Amino acid sequence: MALMMAILALGLVATDYFAGSGVRGSDSSGSKSVDGARPAPDSNHGAQIDARIKMMDDRLAELAGRLTSDPPGEGDLAAHEKLEALEAQIALLMAKAATEDAQRQASRTELAELQKAANDPFLRQQFAKATNMQQQRQVEVVEELFGSEDIDPNWAPKAREQLERNLATSDAFFLANVVDMQCRTSVCRVDLAVPEDVGASPSEGLSSSTATPMDTELVLLATVSRDMPMGTMRREPDGAGGYRYRIYLHRDGYVPPKASNPLEGMTVPQIRTYLENL
């Protein structure tokens, strides 16, 4: 745009010069004519030419100074701002694409490491151990809650009566003996004993390994959690071939506490290291 203005200015100056000098045309001999007549010799003609050339130089210098000193117009500023905004958007999109590519690559690497760890028998064994430890931590957290609560006289007796009815009117009545049952404010604790011979027919002479089949556990859990969501369960051998169950049931509307899990937030390499040193 600055170049075009300079050319235009030069044209205007040149037009002023030739218009002011009265030049219209020339004959074949090179003599200039004005309205068809030859001009008279003028001693001031050269001085006039010099003056007009100086005027052209002065005007060009003035216009050049304006071009370099004048701020850009509103149209130029708007175009510049749009260009900067577009460049910022492009940079943002490129950064987002780079981040997504890095995340995808990290996910692929983590998946490969996870598959490798899953095929390791030792790590599978250690993971089962870590799971049992986490379940034990969860039981301890709930037991702490149970021990800290007072008895709600409006809810606890009714909750216990309902649990007793559920056990008495189901197959669980023939499978387990109620050792203890207590309800507090937001949680009930039920202790059940499953004897050695449960699930075994005397005529079949089955060993004590069939004392607690999976069907027995499912019946017990379905019975006690009929009216309250089951919270936590722990099973331990009773030393006589049977098992004892401690089941915590949480009152509707209460969120049970959750034990912290050391594996949460770990990457696959960190989990692998944790399991190897467990």
- pLDDT for residue 217: 80
Q: Which residues of the chain register pLDDT less than 70?
A: 1-54, 56-76, 198-214
Q: How far is CA 80 from CA 5, 83, 86, 87, 156, in A?
A: 20, 5, 10, 11, 74
| Region label for 30, one of left (φ > 0), alpha (ψ between -120 and 50) or beta (otherwise) | left
- pLDDT for residue 25: 42
- pLDDT for residue 145: 93
Annotate 245-275 with DSSP letters as a single string. Answer: EEEEEEPTT-PPP----TTTT--HHHHHHHH
Question: How does DSSP classify residue 225?
Answer: T
180-221 pLDDT, tens digit per residue, is: 999 999 999 999 998 877 644 433 333 333 444 567 788 888
- pLDDT for residue 140: 92
103-141 pLDDT, tens digit per residue, is: 888 788 877 877 887 788 988 899 899 998 998 899 899
Contact predicate 146/248, CB 8 Å: yes
- pLDDT for residue 164: 93
